[in-house]
Amino acid sequence: MLSDLREEVREQYNKYPYPNFSWFAKVDPVATCHASFEVGSALTKGTIESHGGKKIALLGCGTFEPYAMGSLHSKTRLDAVDISEKSLTLAKRRCFLRKTKNVDFYRNDLLNFCKSNQNKYDFINCFGVIHHLSDPTAAFKALACALNEDGFARIMVYSKTQRRKTRLIQETAKTLGLTPKVFGAPSKIKYLLRTLPPAHPLKLSQLLNSELKTSSGTVDSLLHVSETAFGVQELREALSEAGLHIHQWDFSQNLLGLLSGAQGRNLTEQLYFLECFDQWPGPYTFWVSKNHSSHKEPKHYRTNPHLFELLRAKLPSTVLKTTLHLTFEELSTLQAGFQNPIPATEKVLKNLIASRFLLGVSQ
């Protein structure tokens, strides 16, 4: 039995399955390799383990993630979980069309699945889910219980600073009675934004919001029935209560640029600084495990194994949200990193590390 709020969330995603990608959309392994088990192993353990035979779960998988992550982790089986039967139906169909056969599907919500399922996972991907639950701290705890002792998870949640202006739009929508249940609600909220003056802050805040291209994206972004965004301190406290520890953050090129000019003696202080001045335009994406982060500098680097035979002069980086135009030196470094470790003392280009194309290891 689902709570009333969980039932509303289920109904929303049954009506507006997310994301609403074309059936012709195809995954580029280069663009998704940053989210692989191998990357998580390097970031949280300091060693690159193969995903072969590992237990992987996708919590809140939506319509596209099973195909993307299933293709990326072809040497093992994945459990894909979602509260919406419509989303799972579309996810199954996409996997069938793309001949992705290593995914098992479960219709359940995150809390019930983690509590009732006996499996413990080596890797959990939970992207854009926990901030839509009524009790995010309980969700972090449930996720921690579902992890093996040396397992790890990749999580994305909204930041309060990122969603501050969006929250004003959401409150306006509620005042006008625009909910996912109302016919034409996505079109009506987009019309409202178009009628604002060109320089209006709320209109400007949505100019680059690609989610507004589809009705399902508009609902997920602006009309969701449940949302809880986090400040840095709130996030750290919720994770600590769940017994989870952040090992690494994934930052876009834009966010890295902001961090480089932020005041603070360490990353946490820089994040606080940017939050105070309303300068955090993205969500928080990070890797956690039950083990404390050692904060040790890597001894050397290895090339992400998912790039093997896929190296080219232009590599799309989903983390940095850009395409890297690699020099001959960068290509040579990546090519060499497949066979031999690259000493940390050598010149290692930061954008290759930030993109998770080069992985720091301590063993």
Could you read off the pLDDT of 128-149 as tens digits, one per residue? 999 999 999 999 999 999 999 9
Three-state DSSP at 224 gives: coil
In the chain, how long is the greatest CA-to-CA distance?
61
Could you read off the pLDDT of 219-229 as tens digits, one per residue? 999 999 999 99
Beta bridge partners of 58: 80, 125
Structure tokens at 314: 């232009």
- In whole angstroms, how far apart are CA 167 and each of 142, 193, 223, 254? 27, 14, 10, 22
42: left (phi over 0), alpha (psi -120 to 50) or beta: alpha
Query: What value does the mean pLDDT take over residues 124-129?
Result: 97
Structure tokens at 336: 């060499």
**Residues 217 and 13: beta-carbon distance below 8 Å:** no
Please state, in angstroms and rounded to a whole number, the distance separating the CA atoms of residues 247 and 50.
19
Report the side by side order of strands in the sheet with 284-289.
103-107, 78-82, 56-59, 121-127, 147-157, 284-289, 245-250
What is the pLDDT, as a whole number, of residue 4?
Answer: 82
What is the pLDDT, as a whole number, of residue 1?
Answer: 45
DSSP state of 153: E
Name the packing angle between helices 232-241 and 267-276 (round to 10°): 130
Query: What value does the mean pLDDT take over residues 110-138?
Result: 95
Give CA angle at 69 (66, 74), nearest 5°: 110
Q: How far apart are the first and last CA of the chain?
A: 47
Three-state DSSP at 359 gives: strand
Structure tokens at 34: 């940053």
What is the pLDDT, as a whole number, of residue 305?
Answer: 97
- Phi and psi at 298, nearest 5°, equal -65, 145
pLDDT over 80 (residue 325): yes
Portion of the chain with pLDDT greater than 70, in percent: 99
Task: Tell me what the pLDDT averaged over the chain comes to.
Answer: 94
Query: What value does the mean pLDDT take over residues 79-103?
Result: 98
pLDDT over 60 (residue 23): yes
pLDDT over 90 (residue 118): no
pLDDT over 70 (residue 2): no
Query: What value does the mean pLDDT take over residues 20-28?
Result: 94
Strands 147-157 and 121-127 turn out to be parallel
Portion of the chain with pLDDT greater than 90, in percent: 90
**Residues 38 and 67: beta-carbon distance below 8 Å:** no
Helix locations, 98-159, DSSP H: 110-116, 136-146
Query: What value does the mean pLDDT take over residues 327-342?
Result: 93
Q: Tokens 């989303």 correspond to what residue?
A: 87
Query: What value does the mean pLDDT take over residues 140-163?
Result: 97
Could you read off the pLDDT of 39-85 as tens digits, one per residue? 999 999 999 999 999 999 999 999 999 999 999 999 999 999 999 99
Containing 80, the helix (H) or strand (E) segment is strand 78-82
Please state, in angstroms and rounded to a whole number, the distance separating the CA atoms of residues 219 and 211.
9
Please state, in angstroms and rounded to a whole number, the distance separating the CA atoms of residues 301 and 343.
6
pLDDT over 50 (residue 87): yes
pLDDT over 80 (residue 103): yes
